[in-house]
């Protein structure tokens, strides 16, 4: 499995050779620095730790500062592990660019969705709400009764109710790579991906 760290730039559109309109999300992928390797002998699994972005050294805590210093690499703003990425193919300190992806590749994107705060059942779960007439008052956007009758006499677990919405890790699969620009470290993916512009994300093959 191959992957890179990056951030979402925004959405736009491109046109195919036949003139067909394609909505795409522009993603800045890399350059990513290899900041660590995980092996079954030492860690119990295969993984490659990647770093992306710049962060001032004074804003990085002491454990991570010593980690980067020991490996002889520069500090990164974001650090994540890509599981099942063969450590034999890379070495610590190596810089990976977006040219590891090519047009037509199918990838999956993991990012944090936009936070919507505390929302009611109509926005959070798509409820239709109550009648707007026939004596209804004060309960137009409520979810209705939440419990059963005498039995079980309680509210069931996982009942759809108001609460915090968004700000969750979301993975979108089977996105097509439409264009790759290694000079600008940009990749265009067909369709939309989670998160706001400037949001951190992970793009992996498969």
Asked if residue 44 and residue 22 are part of one domain, the reply reads: yes
Cα-based torsion angle of the residue sequence 104, 109, 114, 120 in order, rounded to the nearest 10 degrees: 100
How many domains does the chain divide into? 2
Asked if residue 134 and residue 194 are part of one domain, the reply reads: no
Asked if residue 145 and residue 110 are part of one domain, the reply reads: no
For residue 13, the model assigns a pLDDT of 94
Asked if residue 145 and residue 59 are part of one domain, the reply reads: no
Asked if residue 53 and residue 76 are part of one domain, the reply reads: yes
Question: pTM, whole model, 2 decimals?
Answer: 0.81
Asked if residue 62 and residue 146 are part of one domain, the reply reads: no
Q: Which of 112, 126, 145, 90 is CA-nearest to residue 8?
A: 112
Beta strand 32-38 with 163-166: parallel, antiparallel or unpaired? Answer: unpaired
Asked if residue 153 and residue 127 are part of one domain, the reply reads: yes
Asked if residue 58 and residue 104 are part of one domain, the reply reads: yes
Give the whole-angstrom CA distance, residue 143 versus residue 163: 12
Query: What are the tokens at 181?
Result: 């620009």
Asked if residue 140 and residue 74 are part of one domain, the reply reads: no
| Residue owning tokens 């979402």 | 8
Asked if residue 13 and residue 102 are part of one domain, the reply reads: yes
**pLDDT tens digits in sequence order for the chain, 206 residues long:** 588 999 999 999 999 888 899 999 999 997 998 888 888 888 888 888 898 988 888 888 888 888 888 888 888 888 898 887 766 678 888 888 888 898 989 999 999 999 999 999 999 999 998 888 888 888 899 988 888 778 888 888 999 999 999 999 999 999 999 999 999 999 999 999 999 999 999 999 87
Q: Is 155:146 a contact under the CB 8 Å cutoff?
A: yes
Task: Supply the range of the domain harboring residue 196.
Answer: 3-116+170-205
Asked if residue 123 and residue 67 are part of one domain, the reply reads: no
Provide the CATH number for the domain around residue 15.
Answer: 2.40.30.10
For residue 127, the model assigns a pLDDT of 94
Asked if residue 149 and residue 122 are part of one domain, the reply reads: yes
Give the whole-angstrom CA distance, residue 146 versus residue 48: 47
């Amino acid at each position: 499995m191959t992957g890179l760290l990056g951030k979402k730039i925004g959405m736009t559109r491109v046109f195919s050779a036949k003139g067909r309109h394609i909505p795409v999300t522009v993603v800045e992928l890399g350059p990513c620095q290899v900041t660590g390797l995980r092996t079954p002998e030492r860690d119990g699994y295969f993984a490659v730790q990647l770093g992306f972005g710049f962060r001032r050294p004074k804003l990085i805590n002491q454990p991570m500062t010593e980690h980067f210093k020991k490996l002889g690499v520069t500090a990164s703003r974001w650090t994540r592990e890509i599981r099942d990425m063969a450590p034999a193919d890379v070495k610590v300190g190596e810089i990976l660019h977006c040219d590891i992806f090519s047009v037509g590749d199918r990838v999956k994107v993991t990012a944090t969705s936009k936070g919507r705060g505390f929302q009611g059942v109509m926005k959070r779960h798509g409820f239709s709400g109550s009648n707007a007439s026939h004596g209804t008052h004060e309960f137009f956007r409520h979810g209705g009764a939440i419990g059963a009758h005498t039995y079980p006499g309680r509210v069931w677990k996982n009942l759809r109710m108001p609460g915090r919405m968004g700000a969750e890790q979301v993975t979108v699969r089977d996105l097509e790579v439409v264009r790759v620009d290694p000079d600008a470290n940009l990749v265009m993916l067909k369709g939309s991906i989670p998160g706001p512009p400037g949001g951190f994300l992970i793009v992996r093959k498969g």
